[in-house]
A and B are shown apart, each in its own frame.
Chain A
Amino acid sequence: MSSAKRVLLFGGIGLALLGMTYGLWYAVFAEHQALDGIGTSLANSFSAAAHGDQARSSQTMEQYREAKYRYDRQVDAHGHWIGLAMVLIVLGIGFDGVHFSARQRLVLAWLLLSGAVLFPLGVLLQTVSHGSGPRVLAVLGSALLIVSLGAAVAGFLRRPAAA
């Protein structure tokens, strides 16, 4: 097995395990609380509005916004880690069809794996910090993925070099 294939296959399996472990932890310890928080804050906001209490309504709506912001990113990180892991594994299996040199394929494999790890990590870190660091990380990860996926498509379409 070539080094590039090994990076994609073992990296993909590792990433899938990371995504599933995070998903299991999230489902057991955090998701129900998060959904409860979203539903309760929204219902409380409308109940406060029914009482004519605009200040409390706004305050609970702000809680809804924060809870929804966190929930969306936590679910996105889980889904993208596993989805990208599947892409890496399938790509790894068929990577012999990418007609570049062994060295170029190895670089491509590392770029793909780095992007697949960093992009969801950047999304997840946005729940910890609202600053620009996590956003930059997510943009960098997705840029790496876009460039390397484009290169892999070109590699598949390229004619194999004559032996």
Chain B
Amino acid sequence: MAAPDALVSTSDPGESQWFAPFSAQRLLVLTGLGMILAGMIFGDIFAVFILHQNASRVGRSLTSAANAALGGDVAGVNSSFAGVGQFLENRGTKVDTHVHLIGYGFLGMMLAIVQPWIALSEQAQRRLAWLFVAGGVVLPIGVFLIHYVGLAYSPLSAIGWASIVADAGGALVMIATAGYLYGLAKHFRTSKRPPIHDPLLSTQTTSTRLLLAGGLLLVLLGFLHGAYYAGADLYPHEAADYHLLSQMSAGAAAQNRAQVDQALADYGQLQGEKAVNIAAHAHFAEFGILAMLLGLFQPYVSLREVWKRRWAAVLLLGSALLPVCVLLEIKFGLLAGGLADLGGLLVIVAGLGMWIGILRYTGSLDVATVRSQ
């Protein structure tokens, strides 16, 4: 086994004053990437155990609404639509938890990059970073709990405690971000500002180039797919959505069960097609931005160059595999679904590998600091 020093990249940017122990930049990088990984793991669990089951419940509720209409049961129609609302809330809050964890992770990593340009005291930067992390964790937890807590013991008639906690978390993130924006503006307002040299942005490694180019290519692929979908499928899908729902209600009014059943079956298929296209488009873009951000942080990933390139390749492979296989789910079903989950797993493992690399870098910095004292 190689000695620890041999594992460290030769492109080590050297000691960075911005990345010191307990610094805001270090906290934001480690927690930002941690939030992204947590959001992706949650997304994988959600996709495997909740998403499909929930979609079929929504489908069943719509079926029972159509059947109630067919039987002339107005109360049944209304109660079925209330059920649809419940299932959509359950699904919506899970998606929001996943999206906000990842979104705040991206924001945390971007804020880490601009730390050298924030004209605030070290203590203020650290406090804002803790505020950001607190809000970034509280909001997704609050959103997740909305469906389960409901309006229990709430002082308000329409908003429950979980929503209040989530909003408070969002407010903390906004305060922290506004604080950093103020610090950034202060820096650029200073006429005699000192030149800032951050090794993070001036050190370019092969893995940096690979991730920046690969990430941007993923964003481009997502955009191309989105453009194709908008041009070829969006309007036909919108027309089909209206047409099938009209067929259902018209069939129910005319007591035509065969027409209602056919429309229901086609509607389920249509919703599946729409969902995979939107998911593929969103994941191409999301993984592209993640790859680009991780590309910028490569100088701080304390691993051998060859391992940095391997993790970068694994991340890009998983990032392409997931959306492509999601698109193939309509044709190939569970096989493609399983491969898509594998793609997600590859991204998580590669992200974790890089996170550990950054953690190793913090360790080597801390040892150097202790030795110099």
Task: Show the binding face of A for B, using Cβ within 8 Å.
Answer: 39, 42-43, 45-54, 57-58, 61, 64-65, 68-69, 72, 83, 86-87, 89-91, 93-94, 96-97, 138-139, 142, 145-146, 149-150, 152-153, 156-157
Contact between A68 and B241, CB atoms less than 8 A apart: yes
- A-B pair count, CB < 8 Å, reads 128
Cα(A139)–Cα(B65), bound, Å: 39
Contact between B212 and A97, CB atoms less than 8 A apart: yes
Contact between A153 and B216, CB atoms less than 8 A apart: yes
When C-beta atoms are compared, the residue in chain A nearest to B174 turns out to be: A20
Contact between A156 and B209, CB atoms less than 8 A apart: yes
Contact between A50 and B68, CB atoms less than 8 A apart: yes
Contact between A89 and B212, CB atoms less than 8 A apart: no
Tell me which residues across on chain A come within 8 A of B285, comparing CB atoms: 83, 87
B139 to chain A, nearest CB (A): 14
Which DSSP category, helix, strand, loop or mixed, fits chain A's interface?
A: helix
Indicate whether A39 sits within 8 Å of B227 (C-beta atoms), given known contacts A49-B250, A64-B242, A64-B245. Answer: no
B122 at interface, CB cutoff 8 A = no
Contact between A97 and B204, CB atoms less than 8 A apart: yes
Contact between B68 and A90, CB atoms less than 8 A apart: no
Contact between B249 and A142, CB atoms less than 8 A apart: no
Contact between A146 and B223, CB atoms less than 8 A apart: yes
Contact between B209 and A149, CB atoms less than 8 A apart: no
Q: Which listed residue (B65, B78, B110, B209) contacts A97, Cβ 8 A? A: B209
B68 to chain A, nearest CB (A): 7
Q: Which listed residue (A42, A57, A94, A96) contacts B250, Cβ 8 A? A: A57
Contact between B69 and A49, CB atoms less than 8 A apart: yes
Q: Which listed residue (B81, B201, B224, B227) contacts A42, Cβ 8 A? A: B81
| 8 nearest A-B pairs in the assembled complex, by CB-CB distance | A156-B213, A49-B252, A49-B249, A49-B253, A54-B253, A149-B220, A50-B69, A49-B69
Cα(A150)–Cα(B218), bound, Å: 11
Q: Which listed residue (B242, B250, B292) contacts A90, Cβ 8 A? A: B292
Cα(A139)–Cα(B230), bound, Å: 10
B77 at interface, CB cutoff 8 A = yes
B138 at interface, CB cutoff 8 A = no
B300 at interface, CB cutoff 8 A = no
B150 at interface, CB cutoff 8 A = no
B335 at interface, CB cutoff 8 A = no
**How many B residues, CB 8 Å from partner?**
51
Tell me which residues across on chain A come within 8 A of B288, comparing CB atoms: 87
Q: Mark B221-241, 1 if CB is under 8 A from A, else 0.
A: 001101100110000001001
Contact between A43 and B77, CB atoms less than 8 A apart: yes
B72 at interface, CB cutoff 8 A = yes
Q: Which listed residue (A43, A52, A152) contacts B216, Cβ 8 A? A: A152
Indicate whether A46 sits within 8 Å of B223 (C-beta atoms), given known contacts A58-B246, A94-B292. Answer: no
A112 to chain B, nearest CB (A): 11
Q: Mark B200-221, 1 if CB is under 8 A from A, else 0.
A: 0100100011001101110110
B296 at interface, CB cutoff 8 A = yes
A68 to chain B, nearest CB (A): 7
Contact between A91 and B69, CB atoms less than 8 A apart: no
Q: A46-B65, A90-B296 are in contact. List 7 more A-B contacts (CB 8 A).
A: A47-B74, A54-B254, A57-B250, A87-B285, A91-B216, A146-B224, A153-B220
When C-beta atoms are compared, the residue in chain A nearest to B288 turns out to be: A87
Pick from B212, B215, B220 the residue with the most CB of A within 10 Å. Answer: B212
Tell me which residues across on chain B come within 8 A of A47, comparing CB atoms: 69, 74, 77-78
B318 at interface, CB cutoff 8 A = no
Contact between B252 and A89, CB atoms less than 8 A apart: no
Q: Which listed residue (B73, B106, B220) contacts A50, Cβ 8 A? A: B73
Indicate whether A46 sits within 8 Å of B213 (C-beta atoms), given known contacts A94-B292, A149-B220. Answer: no
Cα(A138)–Cα(B230), bound, Å: 10
Indicate whether A61 sits within 8 Å of B253 (C-beta atoms), given known contacts A39-B81, A52-B72, A91-B216. Answer: no
Cα(A118)–Cα(B76), bound, Å: 46
When C-beta atoms are compared, the residue in chain B nearest to A45 turns out to be: B249
